[in-house]
Chain A
């Protein structure tokens, strides 16, 4: 088996695939991941803010039913396994991007799976903000909107950055999974060659590339988060 895996023909074939298909696959993976993360943040950030600010003792208390609906929807979306969610949103994807399969179409389920996750991450970041600081802002006459925009979000930037890093690495993993049902990128290559055509070497390389991408995102994210944090002394 090993000699077949590493035979000159296999290696030659693998190199050919790497040369011809990997650049596009890497690009697709990055493109899908970044766009999906950005959209998930665009939707998840305000929802996360509402989860904290809308509480009974929050800066912008919302009616209880509103909060309940918000929580239930987020929990519901988060409890559906991604693979099933993808199949479930086929009709929606067709509606939004005109097709249910393909690289662009795979962004739709990714965003739907990720925004509730991002909302929860944002929620946990915002809860770390010292309530005394919020009280200080109130004592100076800040409106709820000002408290959100000038206190809660800016004060939790380092924590938000580190949570967004978790989000983007998770979404990268999901985007690979979307290769199974027609999404593009490294996931598709791993499945097509590794699962359907038994070209394990190609699959292995695709997986290694995914790991490298996760590492890059993680270390860049951590660095940004640490760098943005003015609480750390000696800077």
Chain B
């Protein structure tokens, strides 16, 4: 369990003090995939860097299984860092080492002997699905493959927690999807807790169970992903949940029910889907806002639908949409 208690972080800059984090309190249970989402500059990276003390908090504590890691000596902290490993937006692979040697890197740091390290690295290459890339150099790999190697490297020391700072932000939607699948798989199979930092809502929706919304250094909302996305309360949450511009539409459409549809690789493009629902279920839905992208024949992104009708109609519409693989559906209520 990770407990973040009253965490604040200030930076002294030439233009004065920047308060990057203000009294943040979060609890992340073992085995969770926990999302931390916020706009650029919200303090997400600072928060994640405080979790492994790459950044020293100005105030507050980070407890890992009850142990205050801010109070550890330098050498104890180095040991703890093997248990809270990190992957990054830019992958940060060692460019002059082969993939195999990259995965061996944290093991070398920990003093594991060469033969054992190599064996473990080969196993991990299997886990991330790139057993044939052992002797390739990172520059010879695609972004998605590089991130897989980075994940393998992060897993080498058998961590309890995997910190992901915008791990998929440099990747296209399809690759993002496959990396998220891998992370979910790792979470399930190895029981590693995952903290996902992102500004992409679709990432949180796809794999997180809980989410905290960070806005200007504050946690403005925290809870189950399904709850937050179906009834966002704070302004920051609404801004993230509704596709661009939908907020205004929302205000005007009183009486209409709204459904959020999230595509994570569904084999569908949006017009036929709505048209098909109209034909097969006789439910008319209007698209209030959408930000979807099709890659090949697969759709990624989200869409806000407006439906005029009673509970039954809405329920049928949701059931219909839910029957499509890789589509998430939630009703959105505006109870702010």
Contact = CB atoms under 8 A, between A and B. Distances in A.
A132 B49 CA distance: 12
Given A133-B94, A135-B92, A140 B105 contact: yes
A220 to B, nearest CB: 20
B78 interface: yes
B108 A132 contact: no
A172 B81 CA distance: 48
A229 B105 CA distance: 19
Nearest to A144: B74
A157 B110 CA distance: 24
A139 B94 contact: no
Contacts of A137: 105, 109
Nearest to A139: B86
Contacts, number: 74
Given A139-B85, A155-B96, A232-B139, A146 B109 contact: yes
A141 B106 contact: yes
Nearest to A156: B96
Nearest to A135: B54
Contact of A157 (B78, B90, B96): B96
B110 A133 contact: no
Contacts of B109: 137, 140-143, 146, 150
Interface residue range, chain A: 20 to 34
A154 B106 contact: no
A233 to B, nearest CB: 6
B86 A136 contact: yes
Contacts of A155: 94-96
Nearest to A138: B54
Given A230-B137, A233-B140, A139 B52 contact: yes
Interface in B96-126: 96-97, 105-106, 108-110
A231 interface: yes
A140 B85 contact: yes
A154 B92 contact: no
Chain B CB within 10 Å, residue with most, of A138, A141, A154? A141
Contact of A139 (B54, B95, B97): B54
Given A138-B54, A146-B109, 6 more contacts: A136-B86, A138-B81, A141-B79, A141-B106, A150-B105, A229-B96
* A-B CB proximity, top 10 nearest: A141-B81, A141-B78, A136-B92, A230-B137, A139-B86, A140-B106, A231-B139, A231-B95, A132-B92, A230-B96
Interface of A: 130, 132-133, 135-143, 146, 150-151, 154-155, 157-158, 228-233, 235
12 contacts: A135-B54, A136-B92, A139-B54, A139-B163, A140-B85, A140-B109, A141-B82, A155-B94, A155-B96, A233-B139, A235-B137, A235-B140
